Amino acid sequence: MTKTTFRIVIFGAGSVGCYLGGRLLSADADVIMVGRPGMQERLQTNPLVVTDYKGFNFRSQIAENRYVCSAEAAKEADLVLVTVKSAATSEAGKQLAPWVPTGVPVISLQNGISNASQLREAMPEATVLAGMVPFNVLQQQPGHFHQGTEGHLMAELHPSLNPALPWFEKAGLPLKPRTDIESVMWSKLLLNLNNPINALSGVPLLEELSQRDYRRCLALAQRETLQLLKAAGIPTVKLTSLPMNLIPPLMSTPDWLFTRLAKQMLTIDPVARSSMWEDLQAGRPTEIDWINGEVVKLAKRLGKDAPVNRKLVELMHEREQKPATWSAGQLLNALRAVR
């Protein structure tokens, strides 16, 4: 029997997964989302709404068989997108391994550097590819997922992805295959180093980035990381209007100059916040060990130190245990003290 549809299964459909699912559904793609019972119940009582900062708006009442809680849904997949939190990567691979058909691509669309490797270990027969979601997604209301920043999906180049590309194009979320995915992921991580700063600030991204001392905190973490990447021989790639090595100097400029120079970079919805902030609000452990913690691990492999990023890891773990916010000046002083 010849298969006439192309099925995309999104495993770990929380904020990012539901947003991607909604966009693909808007293109009439055959999508099944797999996630937690809580989200399943939410989408049974509320429509799935996906919006973005450019004005995109799609609403759909999700059929019961379109959001499920079992990895068995992947048995007829033509493409699997993994969007679980990084701490759940190995378990996700174990659940998917018995069901994903041989040859079907599995893309890790997660924060951090090592998730694709963990999936490969758990799914040795699968075609696991590294990928990257550059934009921020926030659940504004139950069932409503909003993209608040710009960027294009990217994934490791592989011929098995070719049948999927038209669906992403039709959904308005082009998926760009890359031969330099390691550099792409590290470059994305350089931007994600702002996640703990935003979470500790307690204010929306646009408001945080409008304050010079918060930007200086980010610049410290980025400069430290760029030095380590240079020592490791890992090049960066341009993901914004500026090359990555010019972003820390830009972040350090006075507010009036930054606002003028960073107009394109500040294409951020006023309500956008980091996923790390959202995790804190939900009482979940954050992904700090897979973002700034990756820098600390890289430094250790090189026999070096990453005191700024290590301090941000420590502060976030403290914040997970006890609510607190840091003013821009307080946080900058704390990071400068460990250099």
What pLDDT was estimated at residue 62?
95
Give, as one character, the DSSP assignment of residue 210: T
CATH of domain 7-178: 3.40.50.720
Contact between 325 and 201 under an 8 Å Cβ cutoff? The reply is: yes
The mean pLDDT of 91-104, rounded to a whole number, is 96
Question: What is the spatial order of strands in the sheet that 144-147 belongs to?
Answer: 57-60, 48-52, 144-147, 137-141
Please report the pLDDT score of residue 253 as a whole number. Answer: 95
pLDDT tens column, 2-43 = 455 899 999 999 999 999 999 999 999 999 999 999 999 999
* Alpha-carbon radius of gyration of the chain: 20
Tell me how far apart the alpha carbons of residues 35 and 5 are, in angstroms, rounded to a whole number.
22
Fold classification of 184-337 (topology level): N-(1-d-carboxylethyl)-l-norvaline Dehydrogenase; domain 2 (1.10.1040)
> What's the pLDDT tens digit per position in 250-259?
999 999 999 8
For the whole model, what pTM was predicted? 0.91
How far is 287 from 279, CA to CA, in rounded Å?
9
Of 96-100, 186-190, 262-266, the range with the lowest mean pLDDT is: 262-266
Structure tokens at 310: 């290590």
Q: Do domains 7-178 and 184-337 have the same CATH topology?
A: no
Q: Where are the domains of the chain?
A: 7-178, 184-337
- Single-letter amino acid, residue 74: A
Taking only the tens place, the pLDDT of each residue in 34-69 is 999 999 999 999 999 999 989 999 999 999 999 999
